[in-house]
Amino acid sequence: MRPLLLLVPTLFLTSYAAAQNCGFAGSLQKDLNRELQSKNITEVRIDSKSGDLRVNGGTTRSIAIQGLACTNNKALLNQIKFTTRVLGNVLYIDAQVPRVSLFQQAALHLNIDVPSSMKVSIRDDSGDIFVQKVSNLKIQDDSGDMDLSDIAGTVRIEEDGSGDMAIRNVKKEVKIDRDDSGDILIEQVSGPVTIGRDGSGDIIIRNAGSTTITSDDSGEIQIEHIQGNVLIREDDSGDIGAHDISGNFTVGQDGSGDINFDQVKGQVQLPRKR
């Protein structure tokens, strides 16, 4: 088995200052800032459209939104903005980025500071996502890398189109319903890890609870230091490695590639070689 890519998304969102450069030639930019009181708000739902997104949980009692509008067309600059509204206990943050024609570019980068007790839901069209220190997290993403860490509750990725993904330090469950392409790194998860459908890209899971992968089309899989069972129902191509599993290790169907395992304390069930 060749070494897996130990890939962590190299986001340029690791500090908001990095977004101060819009990143394309001839860009115009405009700062958009707003602060709201978080009293009675328990969840933030973000529709971030085109642009990079960073959400930071902390000890703050308010919700601070910093936006950076970017375009290479002066006529579009004032059309790039975000709106906020509160319905019940939910704050909605909606980015508005106009459609662009050939040779035009437009994006809205967002940095959002919230109390760490906040639930966060994200719908993102394109751009990188960085989230840390919130209570629960749910994401639908079309394209772009994701770096998610220090989540006090659960992480659910309902759909990810393309881009690499790193998920670290989650106190409860990690569930990925569908990932079309890109490498996945998951580590330090107290609860179970479930991946429904993975298209292409390597998968690394380590230091987690019981792990289930329903379907993997292509790419290598490395799973290690698991407290519980490991089940890979179907793998079309790519090597599989399992190390230090406290429960059972089961592979249902395997198309091509080697299967290697060691230090499995429970039963091992592998498909017959064709």
Alpha-carbon span 9 to 165, nearest angstrom: 6
Q: Quickly state the pLDDT bin for 145 (edges 50, 70, 90).
A: very high
- Tokens at residue 182, please? 């890109």
Beta bridge partners of 91: 44, 86
The chain-wide mean pLDDT, for the chain, equals 92
Report which of 80, 74, 76 is spatially closest to residue 32, judged by C-alpha positions: 80
Report which of 218, 183, 188 is spatially closest to residue 203, judged by C-alpha positions: 183
The model's pLDDT over 216-270, given as tens digits with 9 standing for 90+, comes to 999 999 999 999 999 999 999 999 999 999 999 999 999 999 999 999 999 999 9
- Tokens at residue 107, please? 């994006």
Q: Is the pLDDT of residue 207 over 80?
A: yes
Half-sphere exposure of 138 (CA within 13 A, CB side): 9
Predicted TM-score of the model (pTM): 0.91
Q: Quickly state the pLDDT bin for 88 (edges 50, 70, 90).
A: very high
Q: Is the pLDDT of residue 28 over 70?
A: yes
Give 143: exposed, middle or buried? Use CB within 10 Å, 0-12, 13-18, 19+: middle
CA–CA distances in Å: residue 159 to residues 37, 96, 134, 270: 31, 22, 20, 29
φ/ψ (deg, to 5) at 197: -130, 125
- Tokens at residue 36, please? 């709201």
Q: Is the pLDDT of residue 15 over 70?
A: no
